[in-house]
Structure 1
Amino acid sequence: MKSVKRTMGTMALAAIMILTVSCKDGNKEEAPTPMSSEMHQETMSGDEMAMNNGQDAKAEAILHEYFNLKDALVNDDNGKAKELGNTLAKSLKAFDVSNYSDNEQSELKDIIEDATEHAEHIGESDIKHQREHFKTLSKDVTDMVAITGTDKKLYEQFCPMYNKNEGGAWLSMNKEIRNPYFGAQMLKCGKVQREIN
């Protein structure tokens, strides 16, 4: 029994060491997995995941505002993140889903409702809570991009250390890791999970 406990303790210690080492500033990124016109979704079927070829200027504007918000969190700028959260919430509320199929409209309405709520919370919170809401907002924006499409090459990035090692993903237009969940504290913690183009 003692040997089992010792083995389990050793394995737990090894896991902690691996996570710690993986998020040092000198880490090497793994090669991202290229994704052409589909994104992995847990809530959508394969056919629904295919990105639309038609581009929507308002969807692109929302994506641009999301990246500005991400950059404010990377820079630990609570005030700018509040401002951008409110701007993003307004843009999400104004997004017109009528150009999409009935199924896509239904999905987009759910995504936009959830994303708007998180953007509004970011607009009125301290930076710790902004980052908590940004995690869910990032999933919402990723889900939205799966439907609306984009002409930009995006990178889904992931930090395994965020939220007591639960981890958190975000989108970026750059391969280089700039962590919005830790900012200057652990700026380069994370890796590219996949490319979205």
Structure 2
Amino acid sequence: MTTSANKEASPDQSQLKAVFANYFSVKDALIKTDASITSAKATELAASIKAVDMNKLSAEEHIVWMKVMQNLITTAESIAKSKDVVKQRGAFAALSEGIYTLAKVSKQDTPVYYQHCPMYNGGKGANWLSKENEVKNPYYGSQMLTCGSTVETIK
């Protein structure tokens, strides 16, 4: 019974839950440096973004959603179309910016960790979100799995 009560208290959570879950699947595939799984997971992510009913988002989420939605779709689709993990990782950096903005205004069931790799992109660095505080770098995979740090915890 508490599950349905939670859904009623936060109807928007179900709208964005699939988006976040699919984002984490893309991240996990990149950690494994698997371009074909990353592509498949990005296809699912793009579909979940398109399936969001904006009318069920909170006012604050709706404002952010309108700003990031098109970029999220475009970026997820470019990851899906690519079979080159280097290009996928570049697009994932842009994707992560939009997902971070969305996570900041969306209530999360569990803490989400905003993590940073200082070495990616020629030392410019890049960020990503994770459900684990332990760093598993999607930009380098097994090459430098633990490169990076948690810079923020979103609750």
TM-score (normalised: structure 1): 0.70
Q: Does 1:130 align with 2:88?
A: yes
Kindly indicate which of the two structures has a greater share of residues assigned to helix. 2
Could you tell me which residue of structure 2 aligns to residue 185 of structure 1? Answer: 143
The counterpart of 1:96, out of the listed 53, 78, 83, is: 53
Q: Which blocks of at least 5 consecutive residues in structure 1 are unaligned? A: 1-52
Q: Percent identity?
A: 34
Could you tell me which residue of structure 1 aligns to residue 6 of structure 2? Answer: none
Query: How far has the Cα of 1:66 moved from its partner?
Result: 0.7
Q: Which residue identity does 2:127 align to in structure 1?
A: A
Could you tell me which residue of structure 1 aligns to residue 116 of structure 2? Answer: 158
Question: Does the C-alpha gap of structure 1 residues 171 and 101 become closer, same or farther in structure 2, counting only changes over 3 Å?
Answer: closer
The counterpart of 1:80, out of the listed 37, 43, 61, is: 37
Q: Distance in 2 between matches of 1:162 and 1:119?
A: 20
The ranges of structure 1 where at least 4 consecutive aligned residues each deviate by more than 3 angstroms after the TM superposition are 100-104
Aligned residues: 145
Aligned with 2:54: secondary structure? coil
Could you tell me which residue of structure 2 aligns to residue 46 of structure 1? Answer: none
Could you tell me which residue of structure 2 aligns to residue 60 of structure 1? Answer: 17
Let me know the Cα RMSD of the aligned residues.
Answer: 1.5
Residues 12-68 of structure 1, C-alpha deviations (whole Å, 9 max, x = no match): xxxxxxxxxxxxxxxxxxxxxxxxxxxxxxxxxxxxxxxxx8351131111111111
The counterpart of 1:167, out of the listed 125, 131, 134, is: 125
Aligned with 1:121: secondary structure? helix
Asked whether the 8 Å contact 2:114–2:152 carries over to 1, the reply is yes
Q: Which residue identity does 1:133 align to in structure 2?
A: A
Q: Distance in 2 between matches of 1:72 and 1:63?
A: 14
Aligned with 1:165: secondary structure? coil
Residues 84-111 of structure 1, C-alpha deviations (whole Å, 9 max, x = no match): 1111001101111112355642431221
TM-score (normalised: structure 2): 0.88
Could you tell me which residue of structure 1 aligns to residue 64 of structure 2? Answer: 107
Could you tell me which residue of structure 1 aligns to residue 73 of structure 2? Answer: 116
Q: Does 1:148 align with 2:96?
A: no
